[in-house]
Amino acid sequence: MKKLFSLICLLYTFTLSSAQSLSFKVLVLYENGGHHLAYSKAAIQWLNQQGKANNFKVDYIQNTETITDSLLNKYRVFIQLDYPPYTWTPRAAATFQKYIDGGKGGWVGFHHATLLGNFDGFKMWQWFSDFMGGIKFKNYIATFAQGWVNVEDKQHPVMKGVPASFTISKEEWYTYNQSPRSNVQVLASVDEKSYRPQSNITMGDHPVVWSNPHVKARNVYIFMGHSPELFKSAAYKQLFKNAILFTAGRL
């Protein structure tokens, strides 16, 4: 009996130790304003729930002024929730580049991360354009459209438990000067023929989820990130959760 009790205690200690070892920290950068704020608020609520359920801590910043080496080194994952690749301070840009190129942590980016070009008097961040597959923003469906997303790489960890195809009910669907496909690993694409209402703002080959294998950091870009309605989609939430765990090295 004593041996059995000792074994149970040992197993409990091992289980507790394993759970504690899964803990990591996530830093989220988001815009605290504009018409994407409703998405950000829904994402923050969901992220806080996921942090409790999956044993990671989430901190938030609303600009890049505090981004330094000492700050980023505290975090296993950096989430660019809905923040463009311009208006960054020079120090923050250099710090982030070292974080990605050096594989110091993982990155998950959404939506505005591919708003690449010359905007609001800021020049395009060329390194970030290369990171995103050598693309430049061209146009978008301002009136929104429903679209059908098809998973291309079903074996990738980010697609674990995600349906082979799923509907996104409302999105802006950016287009770029070229498809990033030749420079990244495409995980999913949108079927432009499925747009409802139909649109002539198309690319032909239109990836919407991808990863850049040419940098050391684990990374995933997920284009869809405009409407809070996304958090009613089980497929989207699974994709988001997988991306966090994958870039943290936990999946």
Q: What is the pTM of this model?
A: 0.91
The Cα–Cα gap between 79 and 175 comes to 22
Crossing angle between the packed helical segments 234-247 and 37-54, to the nearest 10 degrees? 60
- Domain-embedded: residue 86: yes
Taking only the tens place, the pLDDT of each residue in 195-214 is 999 999 999 999 999 999 99
- State yes or no: pLDDT of 14 exceeds 50: no
Query: Which residue did the predictor score with more confidence, 34 or 103?
Result: 103
- Domain-embedded: residue 199: yes
The mean predicted confidence, pLDDT, of the chain is 92
- Domain-embedded: residue 241: yes
Q: State the CB neighbour count (10 A cutoff) for residue 137.
A: 21
- Domain-embedded: residue 1: no
- State yes or no: pLDDT of 87 exceeds 70: yes
The Cα–Cα gap between 93 and 142 comes to 29
Q: Is 107 within 8 Å of 69 (Cβ atoms)?
A: no
The Cα–Cα gap between 158 and 55 comes to 18
The Cα–Cα gap between 23 and 25 comes to 7
- Domain-embedded: residue 10: no
List the CATH number of the domain containing 232: 3.40.50.880
Residue 69 structural domain: 25-247
| Tally of domains in the chain | 1
Taking only the tens place, the pLDDT of each residue in 174-188 is 999 999 999 999 999
- Domain-embedded: residue 226: yes
- State yes or no: pLDDT of 173 exceeds 50: yes
- Domain-embedded: residue 224: yes
Burial class of residue 211 in the structure, from the number of CB atoms within 10 Å of its CB (0-12 exposed, 13-18 middle, 19+ buried):
buried
- State yes or no: pLDDT of 194 exceeds 80: yes
DSSP state of 213: T
Taking only the tens place, the pLDDT of each residue in 142-169 is 999 999 999 999 999 999 999 999 999 9
- Domain-embedded: residue 29: yes
How confident is residue 22, by pLDDT bands cut at 50, 70 and 90? low
Question: What pLDDT does residue 42 have?
Answer: 97
